[in-house]
Chain A
Amino acid sequence: MPPFGLKDQLRILTELTARAEEQGDVDLRAAATEFNVSYDVLIGWINDLVYLERRLISGDKLDLTDAYYVEDGILMVSSSNWLRDLESDPPEIGVAVALLIAATQYGTMGDTQNLASRTAKEKLTALVGQTYPVIADDPPMKDEVAECIGGTRAQSRSIRIRYVSDSGEVTEREVDPYDVVALGDSWYLLARDRDKDALRWFRIDRIITLVPGDHRFDPPPLGPLPNGFDLSAIAVPVTVDVDPAILDAIDDVDVSTQTPLEDGRVRAEVVVYGPSRLEHFLVAIGPGAEVVAPEEFRERRAAHAAALLARLG
């Protein structure tokens, strides 16, 4: 094990007390393994903090023994994380941005905003040099969908929804609603599709109607919120020569590279997600664009353009 100097000890204490405050408790045996320090040594450092008490020369007492406690190798914050109470350094800028966005969004979520949350946001705004907008606005049906969530087991009841998929297809489904969450700028209903017996995410702004269903269900424990959707299974790479202004106007693709061409266009390598978005992309790039690769998409583009043209009449 490496020798640990005072700086390491302070850093580890700061991190563990922060963890205790945010997670509720810290398993010190696991922490010892994580920091590659023996448990006894770590407990020694922790005890220096937890039992910090001193009779000063003047006779006054310095006593911070009520701040933290350790029980069965678990560190918890008892009255206050006083070490953190003294931190005068501002948060690192990336953290400040994240906190400001979280606080701004949270302010729209029904909880009362107290003075502390307002002043905290003001400090963060000054630190990062700007405010941030609310990311996920409430769609019209959100409250109605949210009311279907969170009953007791006996009250949890399925719902029937009429829903427009990403490709525009309209379906009617009976689902067991589990949770309402926002990912990025959109709110979703996480539910079990009873027909498919599978968990599905439904964009709430695409739910057209909602009525009570026929079934009762026991809500299962839910896992952590995904950081986003894993679209890798439906990701399609495409290379096109396109007017860069038109490419800018197309929202739902990821542009990997853009190489300027002599004719003013760019050769763009993009990733498109799913067949309906692919078909849209292939015609959205406009008549002045060319599909470079894969070549078979040229036929697909022509077919989709012909279908849309026929619909136009």
Chain B
Amino acid sequence: MAGDNEPRTKPLERNLLLAAFFRDRRGQWVELKEVGEELAEYSGPVTDGLRKKFWRDLGDLHREAGIEIEWNDQEQAYRIKPPFFTRDERAALLKAARAVWVSGPRDEAPADELGQSLDDRDANVAVRVPAIVRELQPGVADRRLVRFRYKGTLRTVEPYRIGSWRTSWYLLAHEEGFDRRKRFRLDRIEVGDPTIERIGEPGAFTVPDGLDWATEFCLDPNEWGPDPVVTATIETDVDHQGMIERTFDGATTTIEPDGRVLIEVEVRHYVSFVIRALRFGNHARVTGPPELVTMVRDWLAPQTEVG
């Protein structure tokens, strides 16, 4: 039972006082008895009733305000847990989040989470991340298997990492029953209920050492394609030269005396090369080697027939 001198404090004020009291004793272990020696709301003999009231207040502070005051068996005392972010870290993140507006995985997050009250008035970068990342990321963080339907098949994978290449987002993962890593396009994971199922225990797998993530997420087929390497030549003009160079990493360009622009590209994935070269329509023409020119021709010729 609380002491006779307990003031008529409202529950909200009592909780705030409790948080403030532990704030002033950050890093210190404090017994309930000591709390009662300072705050009249918890004064008096340490009874089950007082403990229950104290624990209830601690629970409310944790659940509703994210402030956790932890108990230690050895110390037989309580201590406020350190903040996840320092004030300076929070300020740095808010500054970044004000300038870079990221939507998708945080769209459904509670309003009191960090950055959720910002608006995009000051942003000059907007990044849209697939919302499904919110469901996948715990598997990456906890090293827990996830299951989802992809291209009509239910897959169980070890999720290693999420990343993007150009405009698409991918999950790099090891799929059960296969001996190589795979990349799953996030926008092609089929919606289900749930879309992502986490299965098994955390720590179920280890990510192989020494992976170069930049390379793993360089999904340029010219980097990993299985075809024998050939050097393709694309003829274009100065106006379209930049676009083509950016499409094919490692391209080298020669400008001929007659003004023609010749761009050479090492090709390791013929199909992907043809598809991307065709994107430039009449502004680009594959002129070599003969086998790729033939492939482009064979790609297009049957399609000139309607039917």
Chain A residues packing against B (C-beta within 8 Å)? 6-7, 9-11, 13-15, 18-19, 21-23, 45, 48-49, 52, 54, 56-58, 60, 62, 64, 80, 82-99, 101-103, 105-107, 109, 111, 114-117, 119-120, 123, 127-133, 135-136, 140, 162, 164, 167-168, 170, 179-185, 205-206, 208, 224-228, 244-246, 248-252, 254-255, 257-260, 266, 276, 279-280, 282-284, 286-287, 298-299, 301-302, 305-309, 311-313
Most buried by B among A93, A102, A105, A133: A102
- What residues of chain B lie closer than 8 Å to A99, measured between beta carbons? 93, 96-97, 102, 114-115
- What residues of chain B lie closer than 8 Å to A49, measured between beta carbons? 16
> Is the CB–CB distance between B39 and A56 below 8 Å?
yes
Chain B residues packing against A (C-beta within 8 Å)? 10-13, 15-17, 19-24, 37-40, 43, 60-68, 80-97, 99-121, 123-129, 131, 133-134, 137-138, 140-143, 151-152, 161-164, 166-168, 185, 187-188, 190, 213-214, 217, 221, 238-240, 242-243, 246, 269, 271-272, 275, 278-283, 285-286, 293, 296-307
- What residues of chain A lie closer than 8 Å to B128, measured between beta carbons? 184, 227-228
State in angstroms the CA–CA spacing of A215 and B86 once bound together: 49
> Is the CB–CB distance between B281 and A280 below 8 Å?
yes
Knowing that A106-B99, A129-B141, A168-B243 are A-B contacts, what are 13 other residue pairs whose CB atoms are under 8 Å apart, sorted by A's residue number? A10-B65, A54-B20, A62-B17, A94-B107, A95-B116, A102-B93, A102-B97, A130-B213, A132-B162, A181-B123, A182-B126, A185-B164, A258-B188
- B240 → chain A closest CB, angstroms: 6
- A202 → chain B closest CB, angstroms: 14
> Is the CB–CB distance between B101 and A225 below 8 Å?
yes
> Is the CB–CB distance between A7 and B86 below 8 Å?
no
> Is the CB–CB distance between B300 and A95 below 8 Å?
no
A87 in contact with B84 given A227-B126, A252-B167, A284-B275 (CB within 8 Å): yes
- A297 → chain B closest CB, angstroms: 10
A105 touches which of B125, B138, B162, B296 (Cβ 8 Å): B125
- B120 → chain A closest CB, angstroms: 5
A205 touches which of B99, B242, B303 (Cβ 8 Å): B242
State in angstroms the CA–CA spacing of A228 and B43 once bound together: 57
B285 touches which of A14, A102, A106, A313 (Cβ 8 Å): A313
- A271 → chain B closest CB, angstroms: 11
> Is the CB–CB distance between A119 and B89 below 8 Å?
yes
> Is the CB–CB distance between B19 and A255 below 8 Å?
no
Nearest CB in chain A to that of B139: its residue: A129
> Is the CB–CB distance between A286 and B90 below 8 Å?
no
A57 touches which of B38, B113, B127 (Cβ 8 Å): B38
> Is the CB–CB distance between A92 and B109 below 8 Å?
yes
> Is the CB–CB distance between A98 and B120 below 8 Å?
no
B126 touches which of A52, A82, A90, A184 (Cβ 8 Å): A184
